[in-house]
Amino acid sequence: MLINIGQFDMKDGVIQTLEWTKGIEFSHRDLFDQRARQLHKFKDRDGLEKIGGYYRHAGNFTLVVTPKAGHMVPASQTYASKSYVYDLIHRGKLTCFGYEC
């Protein structure tokens, strides 16, 4: 499961979504809560390195806060969103250019 929050989401907001996700139960909940945020990087269409977001991941649960994005993250940060989905499908977790961050 991927939950992607836009930094500037005026509808749900980062704080409210982080609080809401504390109620989600899954098998690696304790590990997820203990992990520090990690930085996700990707290359945009011009080949420039960008910060795609700050995330925590455990088991099959990933939560990402995407900088410079609103409520519709894929509409405002298309390449960052594509990189999350690609990493989760092909690697099972978020990475930095295909390597551990």
Any domain includes 54: yes
Question: Which segments of 11-93 does DSSP mark as H helices, in order?
Answer: 14-21, 29-34, 73-76, 78-90
Structural domain for 35, as ranges: 2-90
Give per-residue pLDDT as tens, 41-95: 888 888 888 898 999 999 889 999 999 999 999 999 998 888 888 888 888 877 7
Q: Which residues, in sequence order, are CB contacts of 64 under 8 Å at separation 6+?
A: 2, 3, 4, 5, 40, 52, 53, 54, 55, 84, 94
pLDDT of residue 93: 77
Neighbours of 44 (CB within 10 A): 15
In a domain, 14, yes or no: yes
Give pTM, 2 decimals: 0.85
Query: What are the tokens at 58?
Result: 């455990």
Distance from C-alpha of 90 to C-alpha of 39, rounded to nearest angstrom: 19
**96 HSE (CA, 13 A, CB side):** 12
Average pLDDT of the residues in 4-26: 92
Domain of 53, CATH number, reads 3.40.50.12670
Please report whether residue 24 resides in a domain.
yes
